[in-house]
Structure 1
Amino acid sequence: MQSLTRLASLDAQALCASLDQAFLGLVWVDGMGRICHANRFFLDQAVAAANLSDCFPDISSTRWQALLAQSRSPKRHSFHAQLRLAAGGLTSFELQFQAHDSDEAPALTLLALRPMDERSERESVAQLQNQVLEAVAMGRPLPVVMDLLCRRVEALAPDVICSVLAIDEQGRLHPLAAPSLPFSYSNALEGLAIGPATGSCGTAAWRKQAVQVRDIATDPLWAEYKELALAAGLGACWSTPILLDGSRVAATFALYYREAREVAPFHRRMVEACAQLCSVALKHDEHLRQIERLAYFDGVTGLPNRSLFHDRMGQALPVAMLSGSPAALLLLDLDRFKTVNDSFGHAIGDEVLRQVAIRLQACLREADTLARFGGDEFVAWLPGCSGTQAMQVADKLLAALEPALLLPNQAPLLMSASIGISCFPEDGQDPEQLLKDADIAMYEAKRAGRNCARFFLPAMNQALDERVALEGALRLAMSTQALRLHYQPKLRLRDGAVVGAEALLRWTDPQRGPVPPDRFIPVAEECGLVNALDAWVLEAACEQLAAWREQGVSIRAVSVNVSPTRFQQDDVAAHVASLLGRHGLRPEQLTLEVTERLLLDHDPRTAGQLAKLFAMGVRLSLDDFGTGYSSLGYLKRLPVSELKLDRSFVRDLETDADDRALASAVLGIGRALGLAVVAEGVETEGQRQILIELGCEEAQGYCFGRPMPPDELLDWLAARR
């Protein structure tokens, strides 16, 4: 190397002397890495050499050309490297340069060397941190952030190669970023299991502590992988595990060297900062993934939710339209799941949903999509599936639910489901229509007895439209007080005396005419109007009974039907007490008729209300006895005062000996338990005579009188007198 002062002209001696005496190393280097000129500071510090690589061990001619190629811009670039000292040993310097080309002379690059101190190292690391944290804050994908981190580290320390590997839950490696490593090397690491002797990174992840290998060629940790590393030009490796939550290894951050060597002190300080950056980036990525899971996946079952299902259908339907292939949508609703939640609690309910989801998923193909829509509804999209195949899948799903579910600290639980099926393109060509049709078909499966599947039929849509229109008309009738009560008299059979009347709801619509109760009551139950209807009927019946008392009419008691839903959701006992007090009625003047469905209700609230009503003196009548879930045990437990012999047993009394035997049995039960028995639907004199012979005391039916408005009932009573 020549001194700058020997080459300078006489006119520039003062300038050259000042550069020569500067406390800053200055070196002019050509494109091949040859040192052409240097100032006194550099000559005094550095070992005597003609090439840059002789002074800086990690800046080979090839590496220098790569640095120049990456730096063709007006801005100044800097990196850190270790200089071989004339006195022996190595020390770190920050190198700054600005590359340029010249058409008139060979290009020279001026390198300025500044000794590295603690402050300058902190500044370099802080700049690195700011750049990476900015990328994290801007929401860059994790591989992009890790790639930026590696490139910034390599820019600061050209003598290293940087790598970040992710570790999955099964303990396998997955390259995240390694911009300067050969692709073949990174690809060979994909899916490699960590272990006690799997190179630097796999071992660091296994031990959960940093691993430094000074010589890959001889270290036993690299015995099985050294050929791969040496072929990639790697001589040493220092790997640091990235721990999340204190103990979980999420990644490794590694520095490779091209020759066997120790880790430089500056590199250690830089890696400490990089490990923290990796931890921040990984946590941020996990949070983003958690947010995505919350947005697109069900938190209980892990299945796609409604939003993700709609997205996937939105992508699948255009493909199906172009290809002309069929598809099917299955909407599955668990039967009586509400009872599970009410009886065992939501924790058990969630476990039921998880086990059901696993069973359903096992019945489907990888191409199918199973989602949970919320509550107890699941939906499956089956691409390329015909209607016949869809029914076969539905049968598989129902069969998968047949074995009892094994729940913690609970008896085995049997579950079933109702499934509605809509087919593409026959039933619809967009997600909303297909879901609507499947929903209609699913409710048909419910009405068919549950635990079955039904296809959508156009007639179902017409029936749904009619139900919706009927619901709207019913709401209007309630708001305009267009509903009326009719009363059917109850008579004592032995002498024909009127002992009371049953209040029956009637509705005449301006467009539809008289609407029978068996048509509008189910609609009221489905749309949630039944409680309001029940309350109105009870209030109107009590008001009418009080009015008859004032008029001296000989109707001493009224019976009113109350739905099981009202007992579950309202305080019927409190409402009855209020009405009795308001109208000055005696409790025994009111009979509440309940169905046998109430016998299945284990809710203490319902039992408590029935006990309060009985204690008040209000009579309870069990309607349609013998047609549902009759149980003598329930009759003994519940405070029932009366049984109503269903009309189905009365209709064929004159011709069917079995019906006579059943009617006789019900009457015998009533006598044995001290309960009154009222026969419903008595239409002929022959039926009346047989009931008298069997010992029945009270009855109602067309044989005596139809349900009538209050005024007509008064006329009927007057005619009887």
Structure 2
Amino acid sequence: MTISDNEILSLIVDEGNDVTYLSDIENYKLYFVNRKGLEILGNPGVDEWYGRPCYEVLQNRTGPCPFCTNHLLKEGSFYEWSFYNEHMKRNFVKRGTIVSFNGRKTRMEFAIDVTKICDMEKMLKQELAVQKVLIDCALALNRESKEGEESIYAFLNIIRDYYDADRTYIYEINEEKQVFKNTYEVTRKDIKPQAAGQMELPLSTVERWVETFRKGQIYYISSLAEVEDKESEEYRMLAARKIESLLAAPLVLEGEVIGYLGVDNAKENPDAEVLLRLAPEFVVNEIKKRQIWLAAKNSGYMDELTGLGNRKKYRHMIEWLEQQYQEEFGIVTADIDSLRNINNAYGYAWGDHMLKYVAQTMTKCFGDYVYRIGDDEFVAFCLDIDKDHFEEEVRELQKSAKWDEQLQIAIGSSWYEGECDIDYQITVANEKMHINKLKNYKRGGGQKSIQKYRGVLADNLQREIETGRFVVYLQPQINLKNNQIGGAEALIRRLDEKGNIIFPNSFVSRYEGDEIIRYIDFFVLESVCGILKKWKDRGRQDVGIAVNFSRVTMMEDEVVEKMRAVCKRFGVEPGQITIEVTESIGMLERDTLKQLLDDIQKSGFRISLDDFGSRYSDLALLSLADFNEIKLDKSLIDRLEIGGKPRVIAEYVLQMCMELKLTHSVAEGIETVSQKAILKNFGCELGQGYLFDKAIPVSEFETKYLGF
């Protein structure tokens, strides 16, 4: 049909706020776009759209649209269809026809914007789908199954199917080891799931996750490329498991984060967080049920083999002591060295006999308050006794439980005076027990197979050191007043067979347990001396380096002489080196500790009290030596911006440093400008943390901070 300009405009007006346009059928040129259409396009000028192809202006394409409906349009009738415009990001219901305009066949189209209706429909469908999934989850978890495990796996499969994910899983926090540990996991058929308990994720690796969880929020990664630090343990972990996207929802019980529910590589509904906001409650309820089931299963209080109280009774005893017992008392811990080796070599009957012997010996010395809390671990509480009498009983126990070729017992003790929590005093006793265990190994005698095994481990470690599998990185310490370099801390890194960096939390504790950590400690010291020698030759002696030494190494005979000998070999003054000792060293006997610290300082080394303000903080340590430095623990720095107690503690510690005229105060773990400003205002001298720089290779440190 032929239509005049006025008739066209009349039709357009009749359509109201619909998007309306005219375009040539053959060359696609636009002749008209109405007010509504121009608003959606951002109100371009006439010269920006008139006469240009409709596919350019309306669809942002370089050629005719493959979905063009020109061939479906006819004169005298309307063709109707629905369409989502990717360029405009809108849904439309359309009506189109062909008219004659200025003698040309022209497409006339009216489009009703139904985006809001479609979004609402999508949202309603999603809510209905989530409701159905939640009902299915509730039904799955209510099914009867042994210890609830089958029902949890059914629950995880429902979540996985909804997201069409590679895997869904539950990780729970192991407070003792400070890790997330996998407890349940389901995967696609072509992906092998990890066995329960085999995957550990250190909390330090995913600090951002934990912080998000504590805020009650879901941790979301839409793409692995979002992780900025490609050298971080978080990135390595995600890449190793081929996780491109992640949804992780916190599991919270009585206000505490106890784990998280995770979804990897969701291909459907990746933005549907509502399910993961509601589903964790089902999981937490299931964990509660499991805890109740386990409590019922282990409701007994006695160890069947020895007749002693078990770990449950031991915890009840601690609660009673904390709440009702007001007097001083002694704590003794003991364990049988290498019980597994004994069982393998002489049989389980002989191992059981030894366990009974230790139980009887401890009961004879300490009465009824003796507990077997692990396979080879014992704890005793000695009540209604003075300290001198208690120490006499401990000496008697050491005589009665003397070691021979088959039986070797390590013993530790502490005296509780109500000055700090009982768990801490038990930790003190445990530390002394481990030190005594180390001394037992050094005596020789029996346990030849164990010593031989440790020798093999030491040889392997030394070989790895010699072949370059360990490297020293430096993390700068920045003067908070002038932002200049003020020092550095040496940190060890291990390289795997492919050259990937492995961080110390993955190997240091193992080497400490095997008592071969001294090779790492002295390798770092030698490396630092080599670095300082090079700096000295280039005229830079104003930057010192801090070195960490394990408590195990510090208990080695003549350790200070060995440290000084290393410095002498490289021609480096010990005063350029700061020996960092953690507050856990305060668990040693005071006389032994004071002698050790005095020897270190008399040899010219500087001493830093590391991790100050952490759980085992002991102000009494400050009276044992003139520490050159106090280093505030990251746990204090993390909470500075919150205010309240952490900020007050930090302020008073730094004030104390100034009053004691200590050379340095250092804050580690600074990550924000606000933390830096607060610490600077409190008088802190040096700052260390990701705000300034991470630990970096020595050559990079020298270029960035020394200008080499």
TM-score, structure 1 length as denominator? 0.37
TM-score, structure 2 length as denominator? 0.38
